[in-house]
Amino acid sequence: MELIPLPLLLFLISLTASSPTPDRRRLIDNIIHSAALHSYPKRHKTAVPYTVSLPLALSAATAHAMRFRAGRLRRQGADFKEFHLSPGIVAHPHTKRLLIVHQNLGNLSGSLYSLPGYQLISPVLGLLIYDAVGSNSTELDVKVSKAPIEVDFSRIAGVPEIKEELLCAVFGLGRQVEVLGRGRVCLVKGQGHFGLVVERGMEKVVKRWKLVVAAATAGAMGAVLIGLLVVAVVKGKKKERRMAEMERLAYENEALRVSMVGHLRAYTAAAVRTAPAMEREDDLPM
């Protein structure tokens, strides 16, 4: 497939806004693939991820890519963001070098991927593998011959901690969709797009869980504020009592002088002396 210029891809996605959802999904895959090829740094090492610069129309999503030797991937496998690719992955048709593209569709997930009877509660992650040889980069068919690919959603923040209720939705590159076993780690047999879902009846459980967490956080903050208020009141009362005691002592020290008797302190009143008077002769006894 010949590389389509980004401006043309953006024009096509604007024209297909009212087209069926699977068509929009594949068009966005093509845009991210084209951006991954344009973003490849010069002299970049094999098996080292790099950030893909996406157009403004896809600013809600993020993407990363890395080039890998097909033989090394088949023998050793690879770890790429939330994906663990076990040994035994074979791409068809055969090629020497692969371009592995990772997608996190973020806020675009809900508008692009939906499943009747289920509620999406995580971003949709995508893993697509292309031919990296020559100027024409085509999407390859991937076969997993040994252990399945692991998609670990525990590395994504904001997913509720309700392991027994979480299900893994697999959105194939066509129109096929399936729901796999419970948990935050999905085991899948090929490339595509993946997300965590709960049954529609469990939406209330998730919302109630969020409300409980919010209430507990608010309660803890309220308890801390009340504690600080109590401490401030107690300190204020102690300060008032201390000031009253200091005023009382100051008054007493001013009314009574303190004298030392041996090694003891004693309060003594000021001595009052009767003023002398001159005796007159009339006052003398006869």
Highest mean pLDDT among 15-19, 21-25, 39-43, 96-100 belongs to: 96-100
- Summarised one tens digit per residue, pLDDT across range 58-104 is 999 999 999 999 999 999 999 999 999 999 999 999 899 999 999 99
CA distance 100 to 67: 6
CA distance 51 to 157: 20
pLDDT of residue 2: 45
pLDDT of residue 240: 75
pLDDT level of residue 57 (50, 70, 90 thresholds): confident
CA distance 178 to 115: 9
CA distance 196 to 186: 9
pLDDT of residue 194: 95
Closest residue by Cα to residue 104 from 86, 129, 122, 78? 122
Average pLDDT, the chain: 79
pLDDT of residue 207: 52
H helices present in 70-184, as ranges: 70-76, 109-112
Six-digit token pair at 179? 């729901």
The amino acid occupying position 266 is A
Q: Domains in the chain and their CATH numbers? A: 6-201 (2.60.220)
Closest residue by Cα to residue 41 from 32, 29, 53? 53
Query: Phi and psi (nearest 5°) for 95?
Result: -150, 160
Residue 153 has, within 13 A of its CA and on its CB side, a CA count of 28
pTM of the model: 0.65
CA dihedral 57, 59, 60, 65 (to 10 degrees): 110
pLDDT of residue 285: 57
Q: What is the DSSP letter of 41?
A: P
> Are 81 and 50 spatial neighbours (Cβ–Cβ below 8 Å)?
no
List 143's β-bridge partners, or say none.
Answer: 90
pLDDT level of residue 21 (50, 70, 90 thresholds): confident
Asked if the model's pLDDT at residue 209 lies above 50, the reply is no
Among the residue ranges 5-9, 88-92, 177-181, 207-211, the one predicted with the least confidence is 207-211
Asked if the model's pLDDT at residue 111 lies above 60, the reply is yes
The mean per-residue pLDDT over the stretch 217-242 comes to 67
CA distance 22 to 153: 24
pLDDT of residue 103: 97
Closest residue by Cα to residue 63 from 92, 97, 106? 106
CA distance 156 to 252: 71
pLDDT of residue 226: 74
Among the residue ranges 76-90, 105-119, 257-271, the one predicted with the least confidence is 257-271
Distance of CA 17 to the CA centre of its chain: 31
Which helix (H) or strand (E) segment holds residue 119: the answer is: strand 118-120
Asked if the model's pLDDT at residue 236 lies above 90, the reply is no
Six-digit token pair at 5? 């210029």
DSSP 52-97: ----GGGTT-EEEEEEEEHHHHHHH-EEETTEEE-S-EEEES--SE
The mean per-residue pLDDT over the stretch 238-252 comes to 68
